[in-house]
Amino acid sequence: MSDLYEEYFKAPESSDETEVSARAHLRDFFNANREQVFFSRQIEVQNEGDYFHWITNRAIHDLEGEGSIRSEWRPLRTGTSLKLIWHKAYRFYKRSANQLVSLVEEYSDPNIGGSLGLHGETMVLEGFARTRFRMMGRDANEYEGKKWRETNHNLDFLFERDGVTYGIEVKNTLGYMEREEFLIKTRLSLSLGVYPVFVCRMLPKSWIFELMQAGGFALILKYQLYPWTHRDLARRVREELNLPVDAPRFLADGTMNRFLKWHEKHV
């Protein structure tokens, strides 16, 4: 087990005390930020170091129920909706709410939001190529005579080095990927005889532990990656919404070195 896993990605504990702690933490947070409007995903991401997203979401729901905070759903131009939340004492919240919605609509515009997934794949492709991995497949569901037939899913990449092949799935999103997809992509990789690898901004610690038990690896980026051409928007999202986004030109050497260190175990 690597040092990184030992320090952070070990199997976590979850209990009723954790939910009580999350409610108390968020209650204090909203009391300290009485004249700000937030949205639920924003609060989930900001607190993911201490609580799973779903724990934070339940705490938000509980605080609504007890009347500590208020909320409303705002439709976005993309056709989706955004759940806004604020302290119950914030009477004149609408101007702040409108400013927040405006920025969220800007970064979720199809011309930007729709390109982030492809950009994440491009960054990963360059990172693996730079560290001398050979691409054996893209959008792949078969390898060396083995084919996945249970669902219509595939893997973003197959990379090989030193005789070892990895099934790579990339998720350049703020939220966690879907649990069902995570399980399917893990099984898909194993059925093809390759090691499952997820390159994500973040995954729940418990999922990372499951992946380790299956022989796989989570390459956690911590940041959602924006194209360099959108670095100003990334800066505004980071500074105004306190969300982990960045616009690097390429994956940092330290990021790929984490994977290389794990790869060396299989050579």
Q: Smallest Cα–Cα separation from 134: which of 165, 179, 95?
A: 165
In 67-218, alpha helices (H): 94-107, 110-130, 179-191, 205-213
**Counting runs of H as helices and runs of E as strands, what totals does the chain give?**
10, 12
List the CATH number of the domain containing 260: 3.40.1350.10
Residues 136 and 207 in one domain: yes
- The reply to whether 232 and 175 lie within a common domain is yes
Q: How confident is the model at residue 267 (pLDDT cuts 50, 70, 90)?
A: confident
Which of residues 59, 77, 107 is at a domain's end? 107
Residues 119 and 81 in one domain: no
What is the chain's percent helix, strand, coil content, to nearest 5?
50, 20, 30
CATH number (domain holding residue 58): 1.10.10
Do 84 and 192 lie in one domain? The reply is no
Which residue range(s) make up the domain with 77? 3-107
User: pLDDT digits over 7-23, tens only?
Assistant: 444 444 456 899 999 99
Tens digits of per-residue pLDDT, 140-175? 999 999 999 999 999 999 999 999 999 999 999 999
Q: Answer yes or no: do 7 and 135 share one domain.
A: no
Q: What is the pTM of this model?
A: 0.90
Q: What is the pLDDT of residues 24-83, one digit of tens each?
A: 999 999 999 999 999 999 999 999 999 999 999 999 999 999 999 999 999 998 889 999
Q: How many CB atoms lie within 10 A of CB 259?
A: 22
Q: DSSP secondary-structure letter at 220?
A: E
Q: What is the pLDDT of residue 1?
A: 31
Task: Read off the pLDDT band of 4 (50, 70, 90).
Answer: very low
The span from the CA of 209 to the CA of 207, in Å, is: 5
Q: What is the pLDDT of residues 168-225, one digit of tens each?
A: 999 999 999 999 999 999 999 999 999 999 999 999 999 999 999 999 999 999 999 9
The distance from CA 86 to its chain's CA centroid, rounded to whole angstroms, is: 24
Report whether pLDDT(234) > 60. Answer: yes
Report d(CA 48, CA 137) in Å as an integer.
Answer: 33
Q: What pLDDT, on a 0 to 100 scale, did the predictor assign at position 203?
A: 97
Long-range contact list for 87-94, CB < 8 A, 24+ apart? 87/30, 87/31, 87/33, 87/34, 87/35, 87/36, 89/34, 90/34, 90/35, 90/36, 90/37, 93/35, 93/37
Residue 87 has pLDDT above 60, yes or no: yes
Name the pLDDT band for 113 (thresholds 50, 70, 90). confident
Percent of residues, the chain, with pLDDT higher than 90: 87
Number of domains in the chain: 2
DSSP secondary structure letters along 174-198: SSPPPHHHHHHHHHHHHHTTSEEEE
Q: Which of 107, 134, 168 is the last residue before a domain boundary?
A: 107
Same domain for 178 and 96, yes or no, is no
Residues 128 and 232 occupy one common structural domain:
yes
Q: What is the pLDDT of residue 15?
A: 60
What is the pLDDT, as a whole number, of residue 78?
Answer: 84
